[in-house]
Amino acid sequence: SQKIEQNSEALNIQEGKTATLTCNYTNYSPAYLQWYRQDPGRGPVFLLLIRENEKEKRKERLKVTFDTTLKQSLFHITASQPADSATYLCALFNQAGTALIFGKGTTLSVSS
């Protein structure tokens, strides 16, 4: 069956450092992968999408890589700030293309 795993449930880093979150998937051949941010009790907010033919994508302090051979995406936040503290979710469409399947998320805490 299709699985998405975000290896760390929680990640604690100091302000100014780079946070790196991992998303691994199995039994998928996705055309693209998405990353979302979720604050407690709120709906996920779309951040970035990366296609299978793109190795890397950047948006301000965010960088996403996509390695279809390793079946892995890395999500980086550079110069992290306390305001970056949230849960980050990766997501892929199921094989039928009818549902976005989410990983369980990694909760990032940035301390000042």
How many CB atoms neighbour CB 28 within 10 A?
17
Helices (H) and strands (E) in the chain, counts: 0, 11
* 42 contacts another protein (rule: CB under 8 A): yes
* 104 contacts another protein (rule: CB under 8 A): yes
- Selected range binding another protein among 21-29, 42-50, 56-64, 70-78, rule: CB under 8 A: 42-50
The CA distance from 108 to 112, in Å, is 13
* 41 contacts another protein (rule: CB under 8 A): yes
Residues of this chain that interact with another protein (CB under 8 A) are 32, 34, 36, 41-46, 49, 89, 93, 97-105
